[in-house]
Structure 1
């Protein structure tokens, strides 16, 4: 009788990195290595030859377009961050819309009813559930301390076997942020961003999957909503941008649009680090455009699970004298 053998499981040895085990937030979606590669996945499946992109978006979205030699055109958004669609979508073209700051889900729902060739960029809206038949991609590291990772909602799988990514060499900025501090780790973070450029589409790494399986998503979402609500109460009357937190929305940041481009640097000097979305817009859009003003004057106040209401008060007290 022939005995069937299986690959031996390793037993013993040193104790591995211990991570809590649970469930991921998007179990039914395709788990990939990066958001831009999830975008590329869609383009490969749908075979679009022209993509309409908002002027106000991240330049990394051009990477798959260049790789696949797909043409693109820009469109404007209005002061509600809704798309200005003053053009006709050509055959085999599509429109990409960004769910800005996780606060534009109602616009996404409306667009899915009127535009068949729509791609939803939920990189800033991790907690937004995908809409059936709407190609949608997510980026994990915008919301959580992971080195990479993305999710994709698409009905048609890509016709090829994907390798699994490995994240072990993209981990130093996360470890340093705990063991030293986040400022000392910043250069590693920048280098990690560079490493993520022009990678092949791969399945999400085992490390990133394990990390995402141990997150208390309900708690993270509740903290974001509570922090956002506090900042809205304190700052909405001075905010040039009027965005409502709809039921079910879990925002990425509290976006405060000021009149003074210098405020961001003043806050940074006080160790309140606010990101700029996105410097490439200075090259794409004209100086008198709304998109240019957003990039220059929007203050993205952090509201994530690392912070509580005491931290929100610190930011409000620093910001109010400047506005």
Structure 2
């Protein structure tokens, strides 16, 4: 420990939310770690997911098989097909599928929950669970893994200081100025070896007011739902304890995302690769093209939600 000299970033030490879980450098590497530790021979994955999930499967040469989902984001699948040496990955989509997961865990063994979009959902007993904090907070990397078996390996700590440009640019300038660096950071994370979470990422995650974040996210989600649910083609049933990542809004107005973009409301696309993986008549392709994922996170207040609603209403009325 150094004493004296120049100052470092001054961060609080409130403690981590998932303090008892394994800390790793990326969510895709958490999946790789899990597959190696459990020695799974095959994995079933949804069509409706990010293509980075294929990275660890290709590294380990593990066979995989896709499955479809329905309009409730639930699998269309015969769970009896999963053998003892195989596993089934399900995504807690947008942090709104906690109730379903409690039911799903009774139907299948070797279940893996991808909670990249559901940071605040606690892992269920004996259920492998992967978290990606950068989907919820201002960090450049990092992952948490809940599992009952560890690899007999000494992992090096990752280093994150040179991945912070997009976060610093957004803080000092704006989101637009930092977007190119954000994309660059995404590309830098490809094909990294499994490492432990960096000290910088862990320190940032120790400094977050998780209680406040949860309250703001849920309040914003509920406000949007109260104003938009009658126009939303999705029937969102969210448990009282769930803390969503975004508010999924489905209308058949395909240019809605562009309208929001023109008003500097940035909504991610989940996921462009689905357009290549699926056929035109697959629901996943329709969801990718038509569902807009509205930001509800801790940076925003009710006035911001009202502005989003105003932009949506103006667009939907402009027929």
The farther-off stretch of 241-250 and 56-65 is 241-250
Q: Which residue of 2 aligns with 1:22?
A: 14
**Distance in 2, Cα, partners of 1:26 & 1:75:** 30
1:38 aligned partner: 30
1:42-61 matches, cutoff 5 A = 42-61=34-53
Correspondence list, 1:194-205, <5 A: 194-205=187-198
Cα deviation per residue 1:294-316 (whole Å; 9 max; x = unaligned)?
Answer: 11011000000000000000000
What SS does the aligned partner of 1:141 have? helix
SS at match of 2:134: coil
CA contact (8 A) 2:27 2:116 kept: yes
Question: Among residues 286, 291, 308, which one is paired with 2:284 in the alignment?
Answer: 291
Does 2:74 match 1:82?
A: yes
Cα distance in 1 between the residues matched to 2:312 and 2:2 = 55
1: CA distance between counterparts of 2:131 and 2:258? 29
Aligned length: 315
Query: How far 1:50 moved relative to its partner?
Result: 1.2
Alignment of 1:90-105 (within 5 A): 90-105=83-98
CA deviation after TM superposition for structure 1 residue 322, in Å: 2.2
Looking at structure 2, the residues matched to 245 and 109 of structure 1 have their Cα atoms a distance apart, in angstroms, of 13
Task: Name the stretch that deviates more: 248-257 or 40-49.
Answer: 40-49
Offset, 1:86: 3.2
Quote the residue 1:206 is aligned against. Answer: 199
SS of equivalent residue, structure 1 residue 201: coil
CA displacement, residues 86-112 of structure 1 (integer Å, 9 cap, x when unaligned): 361134111100000000011111111
Q: Distance in 1 between matches of 2:227 and 2:43?
A: 39
User: Could you tell me how far apart the structure 2 residues matched to 1:38 and 1:58 are?
Assistant: 15
CA apart distance, 1:22: 1.4
Quote the RMSD (CA, aligned, Å): 0.9
Give CA deviations for 1:135-183 in whole Å, capped at 9, x if unaligned: 0100000000011111000011111111100001100000110111111
- Match for residue 114 of structure 2? 121
Question: Which of structure 1's runs of 4+ aligned residues deviate more than 3 A?
Answer: none
Q: What corresponds to 1:69 in structure 2? A: 61
Q: Which residue in the other structure is 2:5 paired with?
A: 13
Structure 2 CA distance for aligned equivalents of residues 11 and 260 of structure 1:
59
SS in 2 for 1:282: helix
Whole-angstrom CA distance in 2 between matches of 1:86 and 1:152: 27
Provide the C-alpha distance between the structure 2 equivalents of 1:285 and 1:241, rounded to a whole number of angstroms: 20
SS of match in other structure, 2:313: helix
Supply the distance in 2 between the matched residues of 1:17 and 1:29 (Cα, whole angstroms): 25
TM-score (norm 1): 0.96
What is the CA distance between 1:77 and its match in structure 2? 0.6
Instruction: Tell me which moved more, 257-266 or 98-107.
Output: 257-266
